[in-house]
Structure 1
Amino acid sequence: MDGDVRINPYLSGNFAPVRSEDDFDLEVVGEIPAGLKGTLYRTGPNPQFDPRGDYHWFSGDGMIHAFHVEDGKVTYRNRYVRTPKWELEKSQGRSLFGSFGNPMTTDPIAMGKDSGVANTNIVHHAGRLLALEEGHMPFEVAERTLESRGYVADYRGKVTAHPKVDPKTGEMFWFGYGVGEMPLSAGMSYGVTDAAGKVVRRDDFQAPFAAMVHDFMVTENHVLFPILPLTASLERAMSGKPAFAWEPEKGGRMGVMRRDGDVASIRWFNVEACYVFHPMNAFEQDGKIIADVMRYDAAPLFPNADGSPGQKTAARLVRWTLDLDGGSDAIKEEPLDDLDGEFPRFDERQSGLGYRHGWYAADPGGAKTIKQTAIAHLDLKTGKRQVYELNGGDMTSEPVFTPRSADAAEGDGWVTAVVWRAAENRSDFLVFEAQDIAKGPIAIAKLPRRVPFGFHGNWVAG
């Protein structure tokens, strides 16, 4: 097991876990804007014990990192999400589950037990702070203390990590994949939680094939389900090959359904084989649906179906157009930017609506890795791009936008990000003027240790 820790890239450098739970008052350089009050919550994989067998970055125990900003000061707190998996392994003092709950590498003690890790996203809705991942119900944690409160059973099964909130109605839309009695199946769910936090809809349907459906899109009147050929197969997994693998010969599909429609009415559009972890936003215009997505030529981080290594590839922002009134089911694609990037974000008061401003973590060096060394702002109206490049091997998290006030113009506010300082092996919390990214941070709060690379974060206003 020690050999795995030395050679697995996702257990070394700033991917390596930080196992202490800490509370720090951070030194601030520059000036935190007076109007910036609230908390940036981030989450990511952080295995509490050395993993069993082959470890995949997506499968580590969730740890939440909270940066609370108030009166120009910044405090930091991190806590594990104490899922049933975390509690069981804690009681045994060792790792028990294989990656993604793989039965081939799971200890008999843990067979059939809940393997949720709550490590991918953390969202606030209807007064609840929810830690999310691909294959389990939302897990509630307390806002300030980060105390674990348990699964929210109302969701009645699997929910993925990328819900969308309608800025007008306050409804939260979500989905699940691999739904049904058999794991790694083509079964999916679509659900709605109302503004008060009550689950008011959950419907199941079958996708064209079983795939990892990491994210989806919601517009004012429609829901879009991308089924792309990062396929899932229980049979493949049980034969010792990868549970999730790249199979481009399957091509890509996009399901479109009216929000008030039945799942039986989903219309399937076609797109060439590619992969998208994250869209930026989607909206409706003149009888068409416009979806802006970070598109890979092939799924990164995953092998081919025969177990051979997948190709090295990077994502770029493209615009997909689906003509609802036309006679073709083909998706039109055009580039929006020529800079490699990931983790696209926007002013979410425009979620599902037309919008102008977007931000993302970028890789100006073209290294085709998930290690992003810059933050970019793109004005979709003018096409102008601003980039703030980090130096010395420093790398950034997903940039998160927060508006200057509830009624501020779109894109008027700040962007926050967590940056790993490679030379010092620690992290900083950075604040930028959202539309002047190239100027660099206006304030930096310095941590005495590092925050491991993670996935998503969201700002919750104070």
Structure 2
Amino acid sequence: MAKAFPTDNPFLRGYYGPVNAEADAGHLHITGEMPRELCGTLYRNGPNPQFAPRGPYHWFGGDGMIHAFHIENGNVSYKNRWVRTPKWKMENEEGEGLSGVFGNPRYTDPRVFALNSTIANTNIVWHAGRLLALEEAHAPYSLDPASLMPVGPDGGYETYGNKLNGPFTAHPKFDPETGEMIFFGYSASGRFTKEVSIQTVDKHGKVTRAEILEGPFPSMIHDFAVTRNWIVVPIFPLTSSMERAMGGLPPFAWEPDKGTHIAFIPRKGTVADVKWVTAPASYVFHPMNHFETADGKIVVDVMKYDVAPLFPLPDGTPSTKEPPMAKLYRWTFDLAGPSHLRGNTMKEEQLDDRSGEFPRFDERFCMSDYRHGWIVAGDITDPKTGEPRQDGLVHYDLKSGKSTGWCAGPDDRFGEPIFVPRSDGAAEGDGWLLSVLFRGEEKRSDLAVFEATDLAKGPIALAHLSSRVPAGFHGNWRPGSL
């Protein structure tokens, strides 16, 4: 019998609470004018546990659910489906949750533990003709773009002909010039290990690089950066430990004394050529963009936290009294100096004092100096729940230093903003910004469409759902008809 979700966890209720229904809607009602030039599908991924978990729940540990908005000829259709992973299938057949969060063996049924299943709940990308649902501990999970059902010879897992070496990040990078996909995977030698895989797949879906980098300690590495010549892997002191997990303590915890260690691996070299830069303890879930300057410096724009949010100290106590907030910083690295000075080659510049998350940009300009970026803003704590408010979108003009935004109602929440160019050859930033907007008073969601560089005038079109899209993580746009 399926048990009710616990009511004492803020990530299992309200905006974060899971939905228990899969739906299809062919013609969403639209306010405003949906641009006729928009033709494609916005795929959004996020945690949506099918059943109450065993043991403590963490927002990052719910089963993946894909929300797909297809736009064509001014019409918007919607479909949502759980990602039918091996774990999801076993629990669905049993009618109850059988696992702890992050596969914690202390709480997980041995049958589920033996599956070593993905939960595929963090991102969804399109590459080499494959729609891939991603998390960061397993291989990608391949889905049919129209039905959202698993496809492929391995029952959904995309292993690139068994050439994939270890886990796969939720944030691969795509070279817009070559079509190459660059990615990494932490805990590459087994659960909670310090090794990191470094791999590439070409535009045809062939693995072209597979190496192992030895890190200084086991760490949760959510995202990274790639420039024309460098793969940049930051190892922050959000550590992992099997000993802690088995002892009932946090599997992932904040240990600032270990500091930050950033690996720079040449794209045309090997991990043997790695250069390391050390920095004070901080945490970054997401960079915005990353590129090289004309004189060879490496620039990485990041949403930086002083303390990793959502995770405690090793003894389980909170790492801060108030929830940490991220702000936009520019990190500039100069690797040309003498090796004994490399620990001091990082320059940090704060670009904005406003808090936010989920940075995005016009990804046709990935690895290039760029002008336009967007975030979800929110630096107010909701007094009812203590949850960070995410109630506005912000557009940055990084050349002029100006920023503009638009706020929704006090109970509304924006999801990650996704940029869609007006055409393949449009100028940088010329297009639309799409975001899933939760309407707090009505307990339902809209798909909001904005002119990307004119957020202040508000959404030019809203496609209305009668149901709710829960708080999620990441998504991407796949152009064209289904």
Q: Does 1:450 align with 2:468?
A: yes
Q: Is the 8 A contact 1:222 1:259 kept in 2?
A: yes
Aligned residues: CA RMSD: 1.3
Q: Confirm or deny: 8 A CA contact 1:360 1:377 kept in the other structure.
A: yes
Measured in 2, the distance between the counterparts of 1:370 and 1:414 equals 26
Matched residues in 2 for 1:125 and 1:109: separation? Answer: 32
Q: Distance in 2 between matches of 1:419 and 1:344?
A: 16
Q: 1:353 aligns with which of 356, 368, 393?
A: 368
Paired position in structure 2 for 1:8: 9
How many Å apart are 1:240 and its aligned residue? Answer: 1.4
The answer to whether 1:105 aligns with 2:116 is no
Residue 206 in 1 paired to residue 219 in 2? no
Partners of 1:213 and 1:109 lie apart in 2 by 28
Q: Does the Cα contact within 8 Å between 2:43 and 2:68 map onto a contact in 1?
A: yes
- Conserved? CA contact 1:364–1:374, under 8 Å: no
Q: Does 1:230 align with 2:232?
A: no
Q: Post-superposition shift, 1:365?
A: 3.3
> Aligned letter for 1:171?
E
Residue 142 of structure 2 is aligned to residue 140 of structure 1: yes
CA distance in 1, matches of 2:244, 2:409: 43
Residue equivalent to 1:410:
428
Comparing 54-63 with 321-330, greater Cα deviation is found at 321-330
SS at structure 1 position matched to 2:115: coil
Most deviating of 250-259 and 357-366: 357-366
Cα deviation digits, residues 112-142 of structure 1 (max 9, x gap): 2223100000000011100000100000000
| Secondary structure of the corresponding residue to residue 11 of structure 2 | helix
Query: Could you report, residue by residue, the CA deviation over 1:310-363 in whole angstroms, capped at 9, with x for unpaired residues?
Result: 222100000001101124322211101111000000000011111000001001
Tell me the CA shift for residue 369 of structure 1: 4.7
State the distance in 1 between where 2:369 and 2:218 align: 31
Please say which of residues 152-161 and 445-454 is displaced more in the overlay: 152-161
Equivalent residues of 2:406, 2:458 under 8 A apart: yes
Structure 1 Cα separation of the partners of residues 96 and 5 of structure 2: 15
- Structure-2 separation of matches of 1:13 and 1:128: 33
**Which residue number in structure 2 is paired with residue 333 of structure 1?**
348
Distance in 1, matches of 2:213 and 2:298, equals 22
- Of residues 382, 388, 406 in structure 1, which corresponds to 2:400? 382
Deviation sequence 1:395-424 (CA, Å, 0-9, x none): 000000010000000010000000100000
Counterpart for residue 313 of structure 2:
304
Partner in structure 2 of residue 78 of structure 1:
80
Secondary structure in 2 matching 1:111? helix
Equivalent residues in 2 for 1:275-286, closer than 5 Å = 275-285=283-293, 286=295
2:456 to 414, 438, 453: 438
Structure 1 window deviating more from structure 2 (119-128 vs 146-155): it is 146-155
Paired position in structure 1 for 2:179? 170
**Structure 1 stretch displaced more, 153-162 or 97-106:** 153-162
Q: Which runs of 5+ in 2 are unaligned?
A: none
Distance 1:43 1:108 in 2: 27
Letter in 1 for 2:94: Q
For residue 218 of structure 1, the aligned residue among 226, 232, 253 is: 226
**Which runs of 5 or more residues in structure 1 are unaligned?**
none
Alignment of structure 1 residues 44-123 onto 2, 5 Å: 44-123=46-125
Deviation at 1:110, TM superposition (A): 2.3
The separation in 1 between residues aligned to 2:112 and 2:415, in whole angstroms, is: 33
Q: Does 1:152 align with 2:161?
A: no
Amino acid at match of 1:166: D
Matched residue, 1:192:
200
Q: Do structure 1's residue 242 and structure 2's residue 250 form an aligned pair?
A: yes
The residue aligned with 1:183 is 191
Pair 366,283 (structure 1): closer, same or farther in 2 beyond 3 Å: farther
CA shift in 2, pair 1:4/1:83, >3 Å: closer
Which residue is 2:444 aligned to? 426
TM-superposition CA deviations, 1:417-442 (whole Å, max 9, x none)? 00100000000000000000111000
Instruction: Please state if 1:316 is matched with 2:317.
Output: no
Residue 337 of structure 2 aligns with an amino acid whose one-letter code is G
| Cα contact 1:134–1:158 (8 A) shared by 2 | yes
Q: Tell whether the 8 Å contact from 1:130 to 1:140 is kept in structure 2 after alignment.
A: yes
Give the number of aligned pairs: 461
Name 2:264's counterpart in structure 1.
256
Separation in structure 2 between the aligned mates of residue 110 and residue 124 of structure 1, nearest angstrom: 29
Deviation at 1:242, TM superposition (A): 0.7
**CA deviation string 1:200-248 (max 9, x = no partner):** 2111121111100000000011110000010111112122111100000
TM-score by length of 1: 0.98
Counterpart amino acid of 1:18?
V
Contact 2:359 2:374 in 1 (8 A): yes
Deviation at 1:366, TM superposition (A): 6.5
User: In structure 1, how many angstroms separate the alpha carbons of the residues matched to 2:462 and 2:76?
Assistant: 10
Percent identity, aligned pairs only? 53
Query: Deviations 1:242-267 (Å, cap 9, x if unpaired)?
Result: 11000000010110011011111111
**8 Å contact from structure 2 (residues 230, 265) kept in 1:** yes
Does structure 1 retain, via aligned residues, the 8 Å contact 2:381–2:389?
no
Q: Alignment partner for residue 358 of structure 2, among 343, 352, 370?
A: 343
Q: Quick one: which amino acid aligns to residue 22 of structure 2?
A: E
The equivalent of 1:37 in structure 2 is 39
Alpha-carbon distance between aligned partners in 2 of 1:415 and 1:104, rounded to the nearest angstrom = 43
Partner SS state of residue 116, structure 2: coil
Check conservation: 2:30, 2:464, Cα contact below 8 A.
Answer: yes
Q: Equivalent residue for 1:19? A: 20
Q: How far off is 1:52 after superposition?
A: 1.0
* CA-CA distance at 1:292 after TM superposition: 0.2
